[in-house]
């Protein structure tokens, strides 16, 4: 299935109630399960990842199938490693191509009994009842997925001696680790983070009602719409200025594109006050999930963009860097890696977005990746576009296409 998407004008006016944060929802659900006590979690994300996790935490069978939900797979790997019995944890064909070895090896050092059922280092896994020993210290690359680190931290207070986690190298996606620790603290688990060392003593989670804040990652697509529109008066409900989410940097980031953010009791009001600046530079190490949106914004506005901190994008649902390059080329925009010598004494890898997008009825592939569909949709403000396999948005933002229609976009299904 393909959607044809267009808009008769470049005005963006309306009000959108954003879904709850997927990242916060999934952490809250794991913590609730580890606490052993039920408590209400309000405003849960309706994303496929979260509904899958919720169902699997109530599952009583032997096989746990996460589908394409990467966060769900990683968090369940650690959670099931502490459970009695024997379970098989599996997922989609793409999930079987996503490495899990770093997390499995760390859990084995803590006493987990995990075996690979197919290729070494990759799903699916068989997870047996643990034999928790005296190990209480791990070293793990700080450049690995923050979801591996978060998975270990959330089970840390349940271990007989707690956990001392030593992070080696440059920390990738630090805000997600900070989010995990902040949520653990909310539920009564204390920690100490000094330098590269995080200590979590044996403790119990305290059950208490919790309300999930709206998803700043979802907000990024509406900020992208605002950047590409001529007139903007858009209210996004549920967002907090003081947020746990790394993507809450958006208001500052989008000033470069003339977007003014005004927080109010309901959320944030967006208005377009100035023209975009000709150049945009950002290190996405703390907010990698919004890099695709900003690459499309740069192309759509003709702003030259210099991106770094994209270290984890190649191991997501798809290789997001390769996908960005391929799809931006369809509108005559480039996304290229710069030579290493460009970084001089820095160890960063840089990518450049250049050329004003020429939107002439392109058809964008989505690569089974939700963020590809939503990142490219705002280009419909520059001309009619088509998006293949639009249903992938259920992974994180099921109401995305409905919300676009609410804002005046025309969406037609093409078979």
CATH topology of domain 22-211: UDP-n-acetylglucosamine1-carboxyvinyl-transferase; Chain (3.65.10)
Q: What percent of the chain has pLDDT over 70?
A: 96
Q: Enumerate the CATH 3.65.10.10 domain ranges in the chain, comma separated.
A: 2-20+213-414, 22-211
Contact 280, 258 (CB under 8 A): no
Token pair recorded at residue 217? 């990652």
Q: Report the pLDDT value the prediction gives residue 288, as an integer from 0 to 100.
A: 87
Of the ranges 108-117, 186-195, 303-312, 335-344, which one carries the lowest mean pLDDT score? Answer: 335-344
Q: Report the pLDDT value the prediction gives residue 311, as an integer from 0 to 100.
A: 76
Residue count (the chain): 415
The 10s digit of each residue's pLDDT in 19-57 is 999 999 999 999 999 999 999 999 999 999 999 999 999
CATH number corresponding to 2-20+213-414: 3.65.10.10
Token pair recorded at residue 278? 């000709």
Concatenating the DSSP letter of every residue in 307-320 gives EE--TTGGGSSS-H
**CA proximity to 266, closest of 232, 234, 238:** 238
Q: Cite the active site residues.
A: 289
Examine the pLDDT at 341 and tell me if it is beyond 70. no
Contact 293, 375 (CB under 8 A): yes
The 10s digit of each residue's pLDDT in 229-286 is 999 999 999 999 999 999 999 999 999 999 999 999 999 999 999 999 999 999 998 8
Say how many C-beta atoms besides its own lie within 10 A of residue 412's C-beta.
11
Residue 385: φ, ψ to 5°: -135, 170
> What's the mean pLDDT in 181-197?
97
The 10s digit of each residue's pLDDT in 113-153 is 999 999 999 999 999 999 876 668 999 998 888 899 999 99
The 10s digit of each residue's pLDDT in 73-116 is 999 999 999 999 999 999 999 899 999 999 999 999 999 999 99
Alpha helices in 139-187 (DSSP H): 146-155, 174-186
Q: Report the pLDDT value the prediction gives residue 157, as an integer from 0 to 100.
A: 97
Token pair recorded at residue 200? 């979590």
CB-neighbour burial class of residue 125 (10 A; exposed 0-12, middle 13-18, buried 19+)? buried
Q: Report the pLDDT value the prediction gives residue 136, as an integer from 0 to 100.
A: 86
Q: Report the pLDDT value the prediction gives residue 312, as an integer from 0 to 100.
A: 66
């Amino acid at each position: 299935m393909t959607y044809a998407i267009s808009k008769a004008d470049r005005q963006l006016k309306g009000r959108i109630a954003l879904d709850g944060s997927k990242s916060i929802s999934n952490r809250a659900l794991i913590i609730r399960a580890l606490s052993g006590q039920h408590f209400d979690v309000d405003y849960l994300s309706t994303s496929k990842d979260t509904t899958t996790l919720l169902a699997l935490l109530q599952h009583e069978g032997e096989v746990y199938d996460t589908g394409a939900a990467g966060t769900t797979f990683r968090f369940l790997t650690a959670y099931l490693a502490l459970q009695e019995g024997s379970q098989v944890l599996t997922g989609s064909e793409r999930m079987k191509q996503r490495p899990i070895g770093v997390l499995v090896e760390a859990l084995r050092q803590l006493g987990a009994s995990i075996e690979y059922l197919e290729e070494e280092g990759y799903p699916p896994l068989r997870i047996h009842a643990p034999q928790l020993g005296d190990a209480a210290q791990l070293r793990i690359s700080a450049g690995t997925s923050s979801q591996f680190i978060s998975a270990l931290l959330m089970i840390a207070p349940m271990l007989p001696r707690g956990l001392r986690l030593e992070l080696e190298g440059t920390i990738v996606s630090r805000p997600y680790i900070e989010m995990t620790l902040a949520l653990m603290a909310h539920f009564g688990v204390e920690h100490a983070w000094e330098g590269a060392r995080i200590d979590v003593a044996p403790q119990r989670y305290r059950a208490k009602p919790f309300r999930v804040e709206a998803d700043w990652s979802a907000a990024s697509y509406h900020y992208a719409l605002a950047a590409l529109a001529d007139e903007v008066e858009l209210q996004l409900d549920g967002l907090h200025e003081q947020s746990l989410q790394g993507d809450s940097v958006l208001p500052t980031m989008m000033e470069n594109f003339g977007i003014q953010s005004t927080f109010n009791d309901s959320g944030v009001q967006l208005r377009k006050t100035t023209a975009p600046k000709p150049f945009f530079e950002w290190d996405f190490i703390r907010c990698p999930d919004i890099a695709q949106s900003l690459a499309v914004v740069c192309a759509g506005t003709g702003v030259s963009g210099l991106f770094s901190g994209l270290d984890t994008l190649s191991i997501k649902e798809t290789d997001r860097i390769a996908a960005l390059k391929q799809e931006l080329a369809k509108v005559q925009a480039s996304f290229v890696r710069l030579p290493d010598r460009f970084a001089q004494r820095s160890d960063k890898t840089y990518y450049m977005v250049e050329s004003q997008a020429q939107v002439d009825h392109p058809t964008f592939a989505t690569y089974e990746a939700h963020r590809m569909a939503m990142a490219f949709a705002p280009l419909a403000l520059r001309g009619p576009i088509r998006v293949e396999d639009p249903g992938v948005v259920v992974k994180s933002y099921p109401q995305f296409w409905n919300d676009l229609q609410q804002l005046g976009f025309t969406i037609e299904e093409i078979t």
